[in-house]
């Protein structure tokens, strides 16, 4: 691990106890401020075109150089309770620069004001928008981090349920695939994870689903869904994350299915 990565991890560990006890309002403001600070990094490398979708706002992130044919539909993380466009543009800009694709990000409706299934309804609406704009399913890569990774999988499962074509691929960063929190990393990485705590996960899970939900249902935990027919998938996760098992078990399940369609897992220290 290089010096910058060590510095970031040490800072995250320092602030972790404070973040764990923050109210939802404070957490949302903090993410917005982080987005404002980080957005300047790629400001001169991409164009940003805001778009009003009625129920929510969105933005196209367009690389200035080496543009390729295709689009990334990016679904931001934040436990289904946080995440505005400023925060989402951090990773959206990186995706645009890494792929050369235009990236569409949007502010899907958040819990607890808009609990399940609002987010998946908004994700399907964005998929429909791209199809209306003339993109084919094979032109679109769906990417998401954390809760956004959960939403990316749920979008693919919803398209499958509707008998529609799958996206070209899925790119998932530390996807939240198991709301039952049954993986071993929820225990082994409890003190190692620089950001998340089980208390946080329990709080946002309840805000999204309600307190009496069956979290093993595939509509909440895509890990337990029938994953046959989903597209090639790349999964990246950190070695110390409590969500590591969510990624590892997802890849195990997908690998048993995808004989010709590759699934890859990359653990990052």
Q: Give the residue numbers marked as catalytic.
A: 146, 241
Token pair recorded at residue 181:
């929190």
180, 229 contact by CB (below 8 A): no
Distance, CA of 235 to CA of 248 (rounded, Å): 9
Distance, CA of 81 to CA of 203 (rounded, Å): 10
Three-state secondary structure along the chain? CCHHHHHHHHHHHHHHHHHHCCCHHHHHHHHHHHHHHHHHHHCCCEEEEEEECCCCEEEEEEECCCCCCCEEEEECCCCCCCCCHHHHHHHHHHHHHHHCCEEEEECCCCCCCCCCCHHHHHHHHHHHHHHHCCCCHHHEEEEEECHHHHHHHHHHHHHHHCCCCCCCEEEEECCCCCCCCCCCHHHHCCCCCCCCCHHHHHHHHHHHHCCCCCCCCCCCCHHHCCCCCCCCEEEEEECCCCCHHHHHHHHHHHHHHCCCCCEEEEEEC
Nearest Cα to Cα of residue 80 among 111, 59, 53: 111
Distance, CA of 61 to CA of 42 (rounded, Å): 10
């Amino acid at each position: 691990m290089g010096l910058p990565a060590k510095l970031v991890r040490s800072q995250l560990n320092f602030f972790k106890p404070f973040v764990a006890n923050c109210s939802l309002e404070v957490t949302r403001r903090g993410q917005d401020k982080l987005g404002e600070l980080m957005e300047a990094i790629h400001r001169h490398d991409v164009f940003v075109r805001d778009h009003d979708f009625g129920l929510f706002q969105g933005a196209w992130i367009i690389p200035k150089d080496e543009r390729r044919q295709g689009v990334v539909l990016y679904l931001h993380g934040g436990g289904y309770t946080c995440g505005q466009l400023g925060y989402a543009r951090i990773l959206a800009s990186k995706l645009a620069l890494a792929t050369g694709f235009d990236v569409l990000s949007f502010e899907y409706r958040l819990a607890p004001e808009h609990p399940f299934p609002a987010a998946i309804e908004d994700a399907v609406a964005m998929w429909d928008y791209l199809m209306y704009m003339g993109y084919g399913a094979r032109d679109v890569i769906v990417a998401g981090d954390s809760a956004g990774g959960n939403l990316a999988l749920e979008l693919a499962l919803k398209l499958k349920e509707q008998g529609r074509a799958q996206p070209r691929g899925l790119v998932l960063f530390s996807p939240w695939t198991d709301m039952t929190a049954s993986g071993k990393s929820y225990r082994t990485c409890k003190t190692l994870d620089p950001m998340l705590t089980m208390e946080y996960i329990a709080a946002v899970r309840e805000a999204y689903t309600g307190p009496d939900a069956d979290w093993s249902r595939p509509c909440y935990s895509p890990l337990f869904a029938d994953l046959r027919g989903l597209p090639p998938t790349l999964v990246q996760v950190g070695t110390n994350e409590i969500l590591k098992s969510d990624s590892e078990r997802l890849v195990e399940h997908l690998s048993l299915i995808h004989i010709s369609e590759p699934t890859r897992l990359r653990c990052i220290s």
